[in-house]
Amino acid sequence: MVLIAQHRSEVAAMVELAAGLGSRGLRCGHLMSPPETYQRGLDLSAQVRREVESEIWHLQKTAAISVGMAAGYFSEEPFFPCAPLTLKEYNLDCRGNLTLCCQLSGHSGGTTANDVVGNLHEISLREACEAFHRRVAIYLADKRARVDSGRFTELDHFPCWYCIKYVEKSQSGWTGHT
Protein backbone atom coordinates (compact mmCIF):
# COMPACT_ATOMS: atom_id res chain seq x y z
CA MET A 1 0.00 0.00 0.00
CA VAL A 2 1.48 3.31 -1.07
CA LEU A 3 0.78 5.89 1.62
CA ILE A 4 -0.69 9.11 0.24
CA ALA A 5 -2.70 11.94 1.75
CA GLN A 6 -6.02 10.80 0.27
CA HIS A 7 -6.03 7.40 1.98
CA ARG A 8 -3.73 7.93 4.95
CA SER A 9 -6.57 7.02 7.33
CA GLU A 10 -7.36 3.74 5.56
CA VAL A 11 -4.37 1.66 6.64
CA ALA A 12 -6.30 -0.43 9.20
CA ALA A 13 -9.10 -1.00 6.68
CA MET A 14 -6.54 -2.14 4.10
CA VAL A 15 -5.06 -4.59 6.60
CA GLU A 16 -8.55 -5.98 7.24
CA LEU A 17 -9.25 -6.22 3.51
CA ALA A 18 -5.96 -8.00 2.87
CA ALA A 19 -6.65 -10.47 5.69
CA GLY A 20 -10.21 -11.02 4.44
CA LEU A 21 -8.92 -11.80 0.96
CA GLY A 22 -6.56 -14.44 2.37
CA SER A 23 -3.35 -12.46 2.04
CA ARG A 24 -0.53 -13.42 4.37
CA GLY A 25 0.70 -9.85 4.67
CA LEU A 26 0.64 -6.20 3.72
CA ARG A 27 3.60 -3.91 3.20
CA CYS A 28 3.17 -0.15 3.31
CA GLY A 29 5.51 2.44 1.88
CA HIS A 30 5.76 6.17 1.52
CA LEU A 31 5.24 7.65 -1.91
CA MET A 32 8.49 8.83 -3.45
CA SER A 33 7.88 12.51 -4.14
CA PRO A 34 8.37 13.59 -7.74
CA PRO A 35 7.08 17.09 -8.60
CA GLU A 36 3.71 15.79 -9.79
CA THR A 37 2.78 14.21 -6.45
CA TYR A 38 3.56 17.35 -4.50
CA GLN A 39 1.58 19.50 -6.93
CA ARG A 40 -1.40 17.11 -6.72
CA GLY A 41 -1.43 17.16 -2.90
CA LEU A 42 -0.55 13.47 -2.51
CA ASP A 43 2.50 13.84 -0.23
CA LEU A 44 2.36 13.43 3.53
CA SER A 45 4.11 15.89 5.81
CA ALA A 46 6.87 14.62 8.08
CA GLN A 47 4.51 14.76 11.06
CA VAL A 48 1.77 12.80 9.28
CA ARG A 49 4.33 10.26 8.03
CA ARG A 50 5.39 9.65 11.63
CA GLU A 51 1.73 9.31 12.73
CA VAL A 52 0.98 6.76 9.99
CA GLU A 53 4.16 4.86 10.79
CA SER A 54 3.12 4.69 14.46
CA GLU A 55 -0.22 3.21 13.41
CA ILE A 56 1.57 0.66 11.22
CA TRP A 57 3.93 -0.35 14.07
CA HIS A 58 0.83 -0.89 16.24
CA LEU A 59 -0.88 -2.96 13.53
CA GLN A 60 2.31 -4.98 13.18
CA LYS A 61 1.72 -6.23 16.73
CA THR A 62 -2.06 -6.67 16.59
CA ALA A 63 -3.09 -7.62 13.04
CA ALA A 64 -3.99 -11.15 12.01
CA ILE A 65 -1.55 -10.90 9.09
CA SER A 66 2.02 -9.69 8.75
CA VAL A 67 2.19 -5.89 8.40
CA GLY A 68 5.40 -4.13 7.45
CA MET A 69 6.93 -0.94 6.13
CA ALA A 70 9.08 -0.58 3.04
CA ALA A 71 12.29 1.44 3.24
CA GLY A 72 11.90 5.17 3.72
CA TYR A 73 10.30 5.33 7.14
CA PHE A 74 11.70 7.53 9.93
CA SER A 75 14.86 6.12 11.49
CA GLU A 76 16.58 7.44 14.60
CA GLU A 77 19.80 5.98 13.17
CA PRO A 78 21.24 8.23 10.45
CA PHE A 79 22.75 5.21 8.69
CA PHE A 80 19.56 3.34 7.83
CA PRO A 81 20.34 -0.26 6.83
CA CYS A 82 19.45 0.14 3.15
CA ALA A 83 20.44 -2.98 1.17
CA PRO A 84 22.28 -1.17 -1.66
CA LEU A 85 24.11 1.11 0.78
CA THR A 86 25.23 -1.88 2.84
CA LEU A 87 26.42 -3.53 -0.40
CA LYS A 88 23.90 -6.39 -0.10
CA GLU A 89 22.15 -5.75 -3.42
CA TYR A 90 22.36 -3.81 -6.65
CA ASN A 91 19.67 -2.13 -8.71
CA LEU A 92 19.80 -2.50 -12.46
CA ASP A 93 17.06 -0.58 -14.29
CA CYS A 94 15.42 -1.51 -17.60
CA ARG A 95 17.87 0.72 -19.50
CA GLY A 96 20.92 -1.15 -18.21
CA ASN A 97 21.82 1.49 -15.62
CA LEU A 98 23.30 0.38 -12.32
CA THR A 99 21.89 2.93 -9.88
CA LEU A 100 22.71 3.98 -6.35
CA CYS A 101 19.14 3.43 -5.18
CA CYS A 102 16.35 1.04 -6.14
CA GLN A 103 13.64 3.34 -4.74
CA LEU A 104 14.76 6.38 -6.73
CA SER A 105 15.59 4.61 -9.98
CA GLY A 106 13.68 6.47 -12.66
CA HIS A 107 12.45 9.08 -10.15
CA SER A 108 11.63 12.30 -11.96
CA GLY A 109 13.03 15.65 -10.96
CA GLY A 110 16.61 16.75 -10.95
CA THR A 111 19.30 14.87 -12.79
CA THR A 112 19.75 11.12 -13.06
CA ALA A 113 23.51 11.52 -13.47
CA ASN A 114 23.96 11.58 -9.69
CA ASP A 115 22.02 8.33 -9.31
CA VAL A 116 23.42 6.29 -12.22
CA VAL A 117 26.75 4.63 -11.46
CA GLY A 118 27.25 3.01 -14.84
CA ASN A 119 25.46 1.61 -17.85
CA LEU A 120 26.03 -2.00 -18.88
CA HIS A 121 25.84 -1.00 -22.55
CA GLU A 122 29.03 0.99 -21.96
CA ILE A 123 30.97 -0.86 -19.25
CA SER A 124 31.18 -4.41 -17.93
CA LEU A 125 29.21 -5.62 -14.91
CA ARG A 126 32.47 -5.94 -12.99
CA GLU A 127 33.41 -2.32 -13.76
CA ALA A 128 29.90 -1.15 -12.83
CA CYS A 129 30.03 -3.01 -9.50
CA GLU A 130 33.47 -1.60 -8.72
CA ALA A 131 32.18 1.91 -9.53
CA PHE A 132 29.14 1.23 -7.35
CA HIS A 133 31.35 0.31 -4.36
CA ARG A 134 33.35 3.52 -4.83
CA ARG A 135 30.13 5.57 -5.12
CA VAL A 136 28.70 4.05 -1.93
CA ALA A 137 31.94 4.85 -0.06
CA ILE A 138 31.66 8.48 -1.21
CA TYR A 139 27.99 8.60 -0.22
CA LEU A 140 28.72 7.24 3.26
CA ALA A 141 31.65 9.64 3.77
CA ASP A 142 29.48 12.58 2.68
CA LYS A 143 26.71 11.51 5.03
CA ARG A 144 29.15 11.03 7.93
CA ALA A 145 30.49 14.55 7.33
CA ARG A 146 26.93 15.93 7.36
CA VAL A 147 26.13 14.13 10.63
CA ASP A 148 29.44 15.13 12.26
CA SER A 149 29.01 18.80 11.30
CA GLY A 150 25.51 18.96 12.79
CA ARG A 151 23.85 19.52 9.41
CA PHE A 152 21.78 16.31 9.59
CA THR A 153 18.20 17.51 10.02
CA GLU A 154 15.04 15.85 11.32
CA LEU A 155 13.87 15.35 7.74
CA ASP A 156 17.15 13.57 6.96
CA HIS A 157 15.99 10.79 9.30
CA PHE A 158 13.62 9.75 6.49
CA PRO A 159 16.27 7.84 4.50
CA CYS A 160 14.65 8.08 1.07
CA TRP A 161 14.04 11.80 1.52
CA TYR A 162 17.72 12.21 2.41
CA CYS A 163 18.74 10.33 -0.73
CA ILE A 164 16.34 12.31 -2.93
CA LYS A 165 18.16 15.45 -1.77
CA TYR A 166 21.57 13.78 -1.99
CA VAL A 167 21.18 12.75 -5.62
CA GLU A 168 19.58 16.13 -6.37
CA LYS A 169 16.13 14.85 -7.25
CA SER A 170 14.46 17.06 -4.63
CA GLN A 171 12.85 19.54 -6.98
CA SER A 172 9.38 18.36 -5.92
CA GLY A 173 9.01 21.19 -3.43
CA TRP A 174 8.25 18.85 -0.54
CA THR A 175 9.73 20.29 2.61
CA GLY A 176 8.18 18.03 5.20
CA HIS A 177 6.16 20.95 6.53
CA THR A 178 3.06 20.67 4.32
- Which amino acid would we find at residue 123? I
pLDDT value, residue 82: 85
For the residues 108-137, what does the mean pLDDT come to? Answer: 86
Phi-psi map region of 80: left, alpha, beta (phi>0 left; psi -120 to 50 alpha): beta
- The four Cα atoms 45, 1, 65, 50 give a dihedral, to 10 degrees, of -10
Q: Is the pLDDT of residue 111 over 60?
A: no
Rounded (to 5) percent helix, strand, coil in the chain: 45, 10, 45
Higher pLDDT, 91 or 108: 91
pLDDT value, residue 169: 58
Helix (H) or strand (E) holding 129: helix 125-148
Q: CA 159, 11, 80 angle in degrees (round to 5)? A: 15
pLDDT tens by residue, 134-170: 999 999 999 999 999 999 998 899 988 888 888 875 5
pLDDT tens by residue, 1-43: 999 999 989 999 999 999 999 999 999 999 876 667 777 888 8
For the residues 47-57, what does the mean pLDDT come to? Answer: 96
Q: Is the pLDDT of residue 102 over 90?
A: no
- Among candidate residues 159, 124, 125, 140, the one with its CA nearest the CA of residue 87: 140
Q: Is the pLDDT of residue 173 over 70?
A: no
Distance (Å, whole) CA 74 – CA 50? 7
* Mean pLDDT for all residues in the chain: 87
Terminal Cα-to-Cα distance of the chain (whole angstroms): 21
pLDDT value, residue 167: 81
- Which amino acid would we find at residue 178? T
